[in-house]
Structure 1
Amino acid sequence: MLRLGIIGCGKVTTMFHLKSIKDVEAVTVTAVADLDRARMEGVRRKAGAERGYTDPKELLADPDVEAVAINTPPRFHEGLVLEAIEAGKHVLCEKPLAQTIEGCRRIGDAQRGAELVVLPVHNYAFTPCLMTAQELIEKGEIGALQGIDIRFDNNLWSYGPKTDFRTKETYGIVEDILPHALSVVQALSDPVSEAKEAEGWRKKYPVLDNFRLAMATGSGVTVRGEMNWTSLIPGFTVKAKGEEGAIHIDLMKAPYGVTVKTDRGRKQIGGMGFGQYLDLIRLKHPAFVGQYEHLVATVGGTEEPRFTVEDEIRMMGVLEEVVKILSEDEKREQT
């Protein structure tokens, strides 16, 4: 049994993490921490944790805690991950691990030799339909992969975050959403190595809340994406295009189903039963369950990390490239 401590008791913890942890028998929440006592106590009760702290340092000093889930706003990630490593705890941290390449490298340096697992949360990479699509591509179902089209629709208002860090930064949407796309591309093909184009605009918020971009992986697969915070209905659709056909998935609304279209015809693989529909309505997404099962397996030594600190450094480099392109584009428009 992996004894988990949770740092950060906001919306991502209550909406996603706690619901998924209940379905992973090998994980028990031992302690929680949040600067806000009321939030901390609420999550402590929901999780059935024995102890709650208003200082994360106290949780990290708790000898009964083996691993920590860091679910705070991003500006706290690097410091908390480094403190957790120093305290001898395995780490599962919401993306990004740090807000700079240098910060990610500091985490990598600290992890090296510590014999501790440090995993960034890239939950959509554990969605059943994505793993099915990955298997089909590897088997050559659609021929050689040539391109990936991604659309990520989110409704930030309906999500109702407890903190406003996303809309404090001009390009906060890039840090918030783009890692989801990068992790999915890496799972289907290979890591994105270059950002080629980017265009952003404001629709509802005082900061950028929509953007589109073009990227390429190291092997030359073309990636095009459009992402936003302003859609009425959320969705995360991916189209993988090969020489002989295409694979379509929606990781958010249809996490078990895959549609394959080739010259040989159209076929549907997988689907959802009534119980799985109910789980989605209750915001119990299978990807978070898979993320925690992976944490247990990596700590136990039966699986290698699907995403490493080195992967996070590479992704941070792409994020910085995209922000640079968007910033330069805005400057040109203002002159």
Structure 2
Amino acid sequence: MNQRLRAAVVGAGYWGPNLARNLHASPDWELATICDLDPARAQRVADRLGGVSITQDLDQVLADPSIDAVAIATPARTHHPIVLAALRAGKHVMVEKPLADDRNNGLEMVREAQQRGLVLMADHTYCYTPAVLKIRELIQEGMLGDILFVDSVRINLGLIQPDVDVFWDLAPHDLSILDFVLPGGLDAATVAAHGADPLRTGKSCVGYLNLPLAGGAMAHINVNWLSPTKIRQMVIGGTRRTLVWDDLNPQQRLSVYDRGVDLALQSKGSADSTASNVSYRLGDTWAPALQETEALGSVVTELADSIREGREARTSGTSGLRVLSVLEAASASLRCSGAPSPIAATEITEPTLAGATA
């Protein structure tokens, strides 16, 4: 169980070098090779890591029996064929967000992995940050009570992507976080999306998502490529406390407020049985201590642990599929001028994988 696993990184563009660096540094992994169609780009990444081998030939990577897993960091439109080829070659797979370019492709990838007893992990990196792990812990402990609302803002200046709109570029982060921290995951039946393209780029550069959640809660997500200021903030309100996550404030990323609205229902014999007495609770504010660690290091550790233990990763392919289903429904809503669009149900069980790799 202590033997290091061997991994290949496919794609040496924006995210691939980060994956390669963390795999190379991990005690769980040996970075076997970096695969990219541009050998000069792959070589630059390899040189920074002390001379890892490179190749342009994906088939060569997949034919190598010593490689246990493939980490894919290529454009979303290429995920489906590369992931399927890797799974059919018997490799465990980690793929960056979004899982695929449409839900049907993602569904085929998830089913292929399950049929072969292989790990398919979505690289939802934010879910492995100390802040998000703490948020999940606090919600599971009941610290916030029942969730009433989520308000998330992810705005900055650029980069305008050539192949996807702002929803597909930025919203997967927030959607994957909600799926990770909320009880029952990303449990929404519909989504309403409103987008704007003031620069006439042919795609939404500013967008808003509204998701009615189970239990009557509401999630609102604001994404924007055009803001001169960068904000990454999420507010999660509950019946007991409200949590604020400010990802750009390293001194105090999390704040928990014992403040809110309390409703005391009047007696059933009153003239209006639905009437309530409203009171406002003004309590203490505290900041949980967080250990600063690189999230991607935890991602590659989780990949190794899920392979060795023969289980689904915490951010499994099914989690990625739930996020993908919301994105696809959001695109349908945009085409209907913001009308709520149904989110396809993700009716896939997550069985224990067959066997573990030493």
Aligned to 2:288: 269
CA distance in 1, matches of 2:22, 2:198: 33
Residue number in structure 2 paired with 1:281: none
Deviation at 1:318, TM superposition (A): 1.1
Deviations 1:52-82 (A, max 9, x none): 1112222222233211110001111000000
Hey, what does 1:298 align to over in structure 2? Answer: 306
Counterpart Cα distance in 1 of 2:123 and 2:236:
23
1:51-200 residue pairs with structure 2 within 5 A? 51-157=53-159, 166-169=161-164, 172-189=165-182, 190-200=185-195
Residues in 1 aligned to 2:338 and 2:242: alpha-carbon distance in whole angstroms: 35
Judge which range, 147-156 or 192-201, deviates more. Answer: 192-201
**1:329: how far off?**
1.8
Q: Is the 8 A contact 1:29 1:49 kept in 2?
A: no
1:316-331 alignment runs, 5 A limit: 316-329=324-337
Secondary structure of 1:9's counterpart equals: coil
Task: Point out the more displaced range, 290-299 or 211-220.
Answer: 211-220
Q: How many residue pairs were aligned?
A: 310
Counterpart of 1:257 in structure 2: which amino acid? R
Structure with the higher fraction of residues in helix conformation: 1
Of stretches 198-207 and 104-113 in structure 1, the one that deviates more from structure 2 is 198-207
2:42 paired with 1:44: no
Q: Note closer, same or farther for the CA distance 1:177–1:205 as it changes in structure 2 (3 Å cut).
A: farther
The question of whether the paired residues in 2 share the 8 Å contact of 1:75 and 1:99 is answered with yes
What SS does the corresponding residue of 2:337 show, helix, strand or coil?
helix
Taking the aligned partners of 2:314 and 2:200, their CA distance within structure 1 comes to 34
Cα deviation, 1:167-195, whole Å, max 9, x if unaligned, reads: 234xx322222211111111221214234
* Contact 1:32 1:40 (8 Å CA) reproduced: yes
Percent identical residues: 24
Question: Where does 1:246-285 land on structure 2 (aligned, <5 Å)?
Answer: 246-251=242-247, 253-254=249-250, 257-262=253-258, 263-270=282-289
Give the C-alpha shift of residue 303 in structure 1.
5.8
Question: What's the RMSD between the two structures over aligned residues?
Answer: 2.4
Give 1:196 shift: 3.4
Rounded to whole Å, the distance in 1 between the matches of 2:228 and 2:23 is 28
Contact in 2 for aligned 1:151/1:237 (Cα 8 Å): yes
71-80 vs 244-253, greater mean Cα deviation: 244-253
Contact map agreement 1:255 1:286 (CA 8 A) in 2: no
3-state secondary structure, aligned to 2:253:
strand
The C-alpha deviation readout for 1:267-320, integer Å capped at 9, x for no partner, is 111257xxx5xxxxxxxx722122111111101117642123333332222111
**Among 208, 215, 231, which residue is 1:212 paired with?**
208
Query: Hey, what's the Cα distance between the residues in 2 that align with 1:8 and 1:202?
Result: 30
Give the AA of the match of 1:201. A
Counterparts of 1:225 and 1:89 in 2: how far apart (Å)?
A: 35
CA change 1:93–1:148 in 2 (3 A) is: same
Query: Within 1, Cα distance between the matches of 2:21 and 2:217?
Result: 36
Note the C-alpha offset of 1:139: 2.0
| Structure-1 separation of matches of 2:248 and 2:67 | 32
- Structure 2 Cα separation of the partners of residues 237 and 176 of structure 1: 17
Deviation for aligned residue 1:252 = 5.2
Q: Secondary structure at the match of 1:40?
A: helix
The runs of 5 or more residues in structure 1 that have no matched partner are: 158-163, 277-284
- AA partner of residue 238 (structure 1): M
AA aligned opposite 2:232: F
Distance (whole Å) between structure 2 residues aligned to residue 330 and residue 29 of structure 1:
45
What CA deviation, in whole Å up to 9, does each residue of 1:3-32 have, x standing for no partner?
A: 110000001123x32443354221221101
Tell me, which stretches of 5 or more residues in structure 2 are unaligned? 259-281, 340-358
CA distance in 2 between counterparts of 1:255 and 1:184 reads 21
The 1:115/1:47 distance shift into structure 2, 3 A limit, reads farther
TM-fit CA distance, 1:255: 9.3
Partner of 1:25 in structure 2?
27
Letter paired with 1:184: I
TM-score normalised over the length of structure 1: 0.84
Secondary structure at 1:99's aligned position in 2? coil
Task: Kindly state the Cα deviation for residue 93 of structure 1 after the two structures are TM-superposed.
Answer: 0.3
Alpha-carbon distance in structure 2 between the residues aligned to 1:32 and 1:205: 38
Runs of 4+ with deviation above 4 angstroms: none
**Which whole-Å CA distance do the structure 1 matches of 2:95 and 2:101 have between them?**
12
